[in-house]
Amino acid sequence: MKKNFKALMLCFAATALLAACGGSKDSGTEASQGTNTLDRPFVYVAQQVVGSIDPAKVIDETEIIAAVNLYDPLFYPDTANGKMDPVPHLASEYEVSEDGLVYTVKLRDDVTFHSGNPFTADDVVYTMQRMLAVGQGNSWLWNNVLDAENVKKIDDYTVEFTLNNAYAPFISSMTQLFIVDSKLLEENTTGDDYGQAYLENNEAGSGPYTLAKWDRESQIDYKAYEDYWKGWKDNQFKDVQMKIITEEATVKTLLVSGQADMVHQWLNVSAYKEFENNDKLVVQKDPSAKLQHIPMNMQKAPTDDENVRKAIAAAFDYDSANKDILGDSTQAVGPVPIVVTGNNPDVTVFKQDLEQAKEYLAASKYAGQDISVDFMIMGENPEQRQFGQLVSDNLSKIGIKVNIVNATWPQITEAATSAEKTPNLTLISDSLKYPHVDSHTYGIYHPSTQGSFRTMSWYDDEETTNILDEARKEIDVDEQLELYKKAQEIITAKAPSIYVANPTHNIAYANYVDGYTFVGLMGYDIAFYNLSMK
């Protein structure tokens, strides 16, 4: 077992079925003896379907994984050094004006897209303008910060971004801007859709892999782009299959039998403990920059009442969740993972206290009434079913009935699109989206970001909004951090979520796989280009 409990120090702006998985046992062979490759595609097993591979729409883990492998961003986390700090990727260097408003970015001149078209400043300008126009995915990172007309080509390999105001995490946010082939999309645009229809089934990237096949409910096949600007070594994986399988027993069987080479982080903790006893497997554990929480819909009865939310938070058994379900995880201290610079250690933190919970409930506007809440979970996931049982048991002790709503991930993301559709409680795991405290403050609690799985508490508080706006504009890092910490105090005092854990990140893979590095930024640890045969 490999343990990698390194500190994650984050910088700011400047710095399914066996048959479907290969058939018989003989079809899923291990590494070929005496060679530096596999005699079949590298198989990674993911746990949720990929809803979109359009860079203007991707937002959850499997979608970001697809983007990381098909596309290139301007800046990439410093995976070579095991850090999350953004470093130039398609960018070669950049300068920032003294007032923090103008970013001048120089670009690489040796990159081509999968179509053969050369990468130039035109593609960067088009990508950002397209992102802002489509207005989905991670566009919230630049809404209200950057206007389309202020993204300008200076020359073929220089782009200038002029912001409306200083924006602390701008360079960090560039890890989520995956550059598209503007010429290809312009040739495949219908009306003013910016090629959205085309990207429903195709890609337009320059990344290490091309899209070979996509069966939405079962798998994505990737094939190496031979002209990738970073080149290829003989022992890298040129053909990759990402299979979508939700049944845990099947996932375990595939890995143990050698029909899969790496499996996702969402298995029950007991599964990784089993893998640790297999000398053909590696289980890597890392402290995560992830928040496991249960957002409570603040715009739907009875969780629209602050005292009801506090009662629920006080009734929850944090110790059982972290030790028995998640296994050796740390209780979250508010929305910002504790390894992230800017986490406020002094925010309101609940411990299980049933008497206090009953007092909160008695002080609510629903006191004396029969109270019930809907709790949405991914019913096919064993860990989530355990959470369903735990919450049900905990809340029954203070007189609240819990209705478990079993759902698929697409059903959860659809429920997140409006406060009316969002249940009272939903179990959400939210990885850091970009290396900045802004990800888990503004990204979850600013009203401009509402409508995704990240914002299912439907939090809307004018004071918080103003502070977060001010924090983004503050150039002085110390003052900026104080503003983010103040926002965390206000947010947690209103109990918009049960802040469960910053879980340990587990992943398992075959012992012949080399190059896996976890840095904590969602999707980037599953960059197949970084993996190779030992």
pLDDT of 203 reads: 98
Residue 403 lies in a domain: yes
Strand pairing class (504-510; 281-287): antiparallel
The encoded tokens of residue 215 equal: 């069966």
**What is the count of structural domains for the chain?**
3
pLDDT of 36 reads: 62
CB 446 within 8 A of CB 470: no
Same domain, 268 and 305: no
The encoded tokens of residue 82 equal: 């095991």
CB 309 within 8 A of CB 362: no
- Between CA 513 and CA 262 the distance in angstroms is 8
- Between CA 490 and CA 512 the distance in angstroms is 48
Amino acid letter, 496: P
pLDDT of 439 reads: 92
CB 284 within 8 A of CB 518: yes
Closest CA relative to residue 242, chosen from 53, 426, 376: 53
Handedness of CA 425, 431, 433, 434 (dihedral sign): positive
Same domain, 478 and 528: no
Residue 64 lies in a domain: no
The per-residue DSSP string of 161-196 comes to: EE-SS--TTHHHHGGG-B---HHHHHHT--TTSTTT
Same domain, 100 and 38: no
CB 371 within 8 A of CB 302: yes
Cβ contacts of 210 within 8 Å, gap of 6 or more = 70, 114, 203, 222, 223, 224, 225
Domain extent at residue 257? 2-54+197-286+506-533
Same domain, 90 and 137: yes
If DSSP codes are grouped into helix, strand and coil, which group holds residue 401? strand
Domain boundary among 132, 164, 187: 187
List of long-range contacts for 89-92, beta carbons under 8 Å, 24+ apart: 90/119, 90/124, 90/179, 90/206, 91/174
If DSSP codes are grouped into helix, strand and coil, which group holds residue 253? helix
Helix, strand, coil percentages in the chain from 3-state DSSP, rounded to 5: 30, 20, 45
Same domain, 386 and 402: yes
The per-residue DSSP string of 17-63 comes to: -SGGGTSSGGGS--PPTTSSS-SS-EEEEESS------TTT--SHHH
In terms of phi and psi (left: phi > 0; alpha: psi -120 to 50; beta: otherwise), the region of 341 is: beta
- Between CA 248 and CA 381 the distance in angstroms is 8
**Cβ-based neighbour number of residue 414 at 10 Å:** 15
Same domain, 458 and 316: yes
Domain boundary among 142, 167, 187: 187
* CATH at 148: 3.90.76.10
Same domain, 345 and 447: yes
- Between CA 266 and CA 287 the distance in angstroms is 15
- Between CA 468 and CA 440 the distance in angstroms is 11
Angle subtended by helix axes 269-276 and 248-257, to nearest 10? 20
* CATH at 295: 3.10.105.10
Over residues 402-434, the pLDDT tens digits come to: 999 999 999 999 999 999 999 999 999 998 888
End-to-end CA distance of the chain: 16
Same domain, 436 and 352: yes
Closest CA relative to residue 55, chosen from 174, 191, 170, 223: 174
Residue 192 lies in a domain: no
- Between CA 495 and CA 105 the distance in angstroms is 41
**Segments of the chain with pLDDT less than 70:** 1-36
Same domain, 18 and 44: yes
Amino acid letter, 283: V
Residue 66 lies in a domain: no
Handedness of CA 478, 479, 482, 483 (dihedral sign): negative
pLDDT of 173 reads: 95
Same domain, 349 and 230: no
Cα–Cα distances in angstroms (integers) from residue 382 to residues 18, 45, 358, 501, in the given order: 19, 16, 30, 17
**Cβ-based neighbour number of residue 366 at 10 Å:** 18
> Which residue carries 């355990």 as its tokens?
386
- Between CA 439 and CA 470 the distance in angstroms is 15
* CATH at 209: 3.40.190.10
